[in-house]
């Protein structure tokens, strides 16, 4: 099937659904899972742009991202599958762009992303990272809807 599958992961219910789907796809296959989380490397506001506060914020975001990925890695290792984890800095770009660029750079054969399954006005107002990944990606994308109970 796919030699490398990239899972966009942030610890949310949609990301958990995406990871579950990726694990199901990879079982019994010679597949490596690439888990990626995107964090902002820009100040949250002008007041935080002082060097010390900005560095502390970045370090806290990096530590939280590593903690989130460690939990996901444990699930992958429990399934006895190879796993690589990456904390990706946004550089001011949209999350979807960062995910797609990473998938291309790592030669992923598939990107798996979770979706809240929003409809109507909330979807139009909030947008969808999953949908944008699918539109931007030259790599096939599997969008996994979050089960209704988890939303």
Residue 16 above 90 pLDDT?
A: yes
Average pLDDT over residues 30-42: 91
Q: Would the pLDDT of 123 be above 50? A: no
How many whole angstroms separate alpha carbon 46 and alpha carbon 121?
Answer: 31
pLDDT of residue 1: 76
pLDDT at 95: 94
Which carries the bigger pLDDT value, residue 80 or residue 117? 80
- The C-alpha atoms of residue 90 and residue 96 are separated, in whole angstroms, by 10
Among 49-58, 97-106, 141-150, whose mean pLDDT is lowest?
49-58
- The model carries a pTM of 0.86
What is the β-pairing status of strands 83-89 and 141-145? unpaired
Q: All domains of the chain, ordered by start, with CATH?
A: 4-150 (3.40.50.620)
At residue 70, the 3 state secondary structure works out as: helix
75-92 as b/e: b if 16+ CB within 10 A: bbeeeebebebbbbbeee
Q: pLDDT per residue over 37-94, tens digit each?
A: 999 876 555 455 566 766 777 788 889 999 999 999 999 999 999 999 999 999 889 9
Q: Give the pLDDT confidence score for residue 146 in this predicted structure.
A: 85
As a dihedral over the C-alpha atoms of residue 92, residue 95, residue 100, residue 106, rounded to 10 degrees, the angle is: 80
Q: State the Cα–Cα distance between residues 73 and 78, nearest whole angstrom.
A: 8
């Amino acid at each position: 099937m796919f030699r490398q599958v990239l899972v966009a992961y942030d610890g949310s219910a949609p990301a958990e659904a995406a990871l579950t789907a990726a694990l199901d796809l990879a079982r019994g296959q010679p597949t490596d899972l690439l888990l990626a989380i995107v964090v902002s490397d820009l100040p949250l506001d002008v007041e935080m742009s002082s060097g010390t506060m900005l560095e502390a914020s970045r370090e806290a975001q990096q530590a939280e991202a590593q903690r989130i990925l460690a939990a996901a890695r444990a699930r992958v290792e429990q399934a006895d599958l190879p796993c690589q984890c990456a904390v990706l800095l946004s550089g001011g770009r949209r999350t979807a762009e960062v995910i797609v660029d990473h998938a291309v750079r790592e030669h992923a054969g598939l990107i798996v992303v979770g979706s809240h399954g929003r409809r109507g006005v909330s979807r139009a107002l909030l947008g969808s990272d999953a949908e944008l990944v699918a539109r931007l990606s030259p790599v096939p994308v599997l969008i996994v809807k979050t089960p209704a109970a988890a939303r």
